[in-house]
Amino acid sequence: MGKPTGFLEYERSLPKDRTPEERICDWNEIHTHFDVEKLKIQGARCMNCGVPFCHTGDIVGNYAIGCPLHNLIPEWNDLVYRGDMDEAYRRLSMTNNFPEFTGRVCPALCEGSCTLGMNDLPVTVRNIECHIIDTAFENGKVTPRIPKKSTEKRVAIIGSGPAGLACADSLNQMGHKVTVFERSDRAGGLLMYGIPNMKLDKKIVQRRIDLMTDEGVVFKLSTEVGKNYPAVRLISDYDAVVICTGAANPRPLTVEGSDLNGVHFAVEYLSKTTKSLLDSGLKDHNYIDAKDKNVVIIGGGDTGNDCVGTAIRQGSKSVVQLEIMPEPPHERQPQNPWPEWPIVKKVDYGQEESISKFGRDPRIYETTVTKIEGDEKGAVKAVHTTGVKRVFDEKGMRFENIKGSEKILDADLVLIAMGFLGPETELLKHLTLEMTKRTNIQADEKDHKTSVRGIFAAGDCRRGQSLVVWAIKEGRDAAKAVDDYLSTY
């Protein structure tokens, strides 16, 4: 432990993001880095606990406890404090295939379980992680790792999101011949098209794809298994198949007017914007434009926040974000104790930008949509809402409308960000895979085996919509299961 009293001497500090006024004028990443000396101080705050909960990676009740990847957080915090960034990168890469992704988009489950967080602000784990990997890339320490020996076993991975990439990377390093099928024109899945550029620069994603290509992973882009590539060929051409297609089936809005012009799913809105940005710098106009429009976003989560930031950059007239749940408390509550993930109110980058531009937080809590009103041309005109309250009874929790709380919001564009129900099912029907009651692929968490021999599943298509860090863990675990299977195949 480099600084035994560091947690007593130093306060938590993060590098300042680019100001909202500056960043809403472009699509560049909003975050910055500390200089090395300031980073060392933050590393010194790590207590190097006897029992570090930060890398526990368990689910207790409904809450995550620590990092699912079991990152060796106290070790590389100490190494950063000592100034050994090379060894810190080596330790970090032992457990995380893509720290440049989690260091940018993970909500930092590790920080929620930091022991220091019991009576002080937790260690800035995510920021330190991101700095380690970015420094390693800048210093040329991240180079292609060519497997020394090949097993000659062929593995097909369907989907190139975080789970697919992690599985491909791990299997490739084990010596297997890996081919990744991706229906989009670029690899990366939600990392490429689902997360806006200002949150995760696509050059960062492409850099990792290029590195994996140099290491021997084959990417077949614009190739959709079951359509322009027969699903039956997978069984004959490959020794094992891993499905990592994500949970791409969005939860629909079932109210009058949900089929009007101007109503779109958030994933369509975000992906089209990013594709146009990458293809032409938005000059081709092949995206859903919020310019000069009143935008209503239905859903208060991360995807809804990404829609807020995107709409503001497009020049929206106003932005409202509807959330059916109550406003979270500002501090951790007794019924949500450490080391559980703290359920507290946070102001994310999109909301911060709305406050800067429009003078208010866009979120309206305990509100649901009852109707979407259209004009004579069939386009969105207004959104009708009502306040709701939670009711708990023998059947569980439900929502009741509050009489007299009805409101009408002007709307020219409505974006549905209500989460996802599970994977798209057409491919799964081609492969005759069994599904769970929640429409996910039936596959055991321990061995990731589906109902069909030689076919495995990992990521959101197996566990349901989740975080990037869980997807990476699923991909890594599935790779181990496939390796075990191939060793006896």
Asked if the bond preceding 339 is cis, omega within 30° of 0, the reply is yes
Which uninterrupted H or E stretch holds 263?
Answer: strand 263-265
What are the Cα distances from residue 466, in Å, to 162, 230, 249, 398? 11, 29, 13, 23
For residue 340 the two structure tokens come to: 């559980």
What are the Cα distances from residue 353, in Å, to 30, 313, 346, 402? 11, 10, 13, 31
Only one residue has tokens 């009708």, namely 384
Q: Is the CATH number 3.50.50.60 carried by domain 154-248+421-487?
A: yes
CATH architecture of 6-138: Orthogonal Bundle (1.10)
pLDDT tens for each residue of the chain, 489 residues long:
668 899 999 999 999 999 999 999 999 999 999 999 999 999 999 988 888 999 888 887 777 799 999 999 999 999 999 999 999 999 999 999 999 999 999 999 999 999 999 989 999 999 999 999 999 999 999 999 999 999 999 999 999 999 999 999 999 999 999 999 999 999 999 999 999 999 999 999 999 999 999 999 999 999 999 999 999 899 899 999 999 999 989 999 999 999 999 999 999 999 999 999 999 999 999 999 999 999 999 999 999 999 999 999 999 999 999 999 999 999 999 988 999 889 999 999 999 999 999 999 999 999 999 999 999 999 999 999 999 999 998 888 999 999 999 999 999 999 999 999 899 989 999 999 999 998 899 999 999 999 999 999 999 999 999 999 999 999 999 999 999 999 987
**Are the beta carbons of 297 and 307 closer than 8 angstroms?**
yes
Q: How far apart, in whole angstroms, are the C-alpha atoms of residue 298 and residue 224?
A: 30
User: Of 15, 92, 100, 110, which is closest to residue 53 (Cα–Cα)?
Assistant: 110
Q: What angle do CA 34, 35, 40 make, to 5 degrees?
A: 90
Q: How far apart, in whole angstroms, are the C-alpha atoms of residue 110 and residue 467?
A: 13
* Portions of the chain given CATH number 1.10.1060.10: 6-138
User: Of 345, 340, 330, which is closest to residue 117 (Cα–Cα)?
Assistant: 340
β-bridge mates for residue 388, sequence order: 401
* Portions of the chain given CATH number 3.50.50.60: 154-248+421-487, 252-418
What secondary structure letter does DSSP report for 191? I
Q: Measured between alpha carbons, how far apart are the two ends of the chain, in Å?
A: 46
Q: What's the pTM value of the predicted model, to 2 decimals? A: 0.96
For residue 299, the one-letter residue type is: G
Which class is domain 252-418?
alpha beta
Q: How far apart, in whole angstroms, are the C-alpha atoms of residue 121 and residue 91?
A: 25
Let me know how many helices (H) and strands (E) the chain has, helices first: 17, 18
What secondary structure letter does DSSP report for 415? E
Provide the 10 A C-beta neighbour count for residue 135: 19
Q: How far apart, in whole angstroms, are the C-alpha atoms of residue 462 and residue 305?
A: 25
What secondary structure letter does DSSP report for 413? E
Cα-to-chain-centroid distance, residue 184? 18
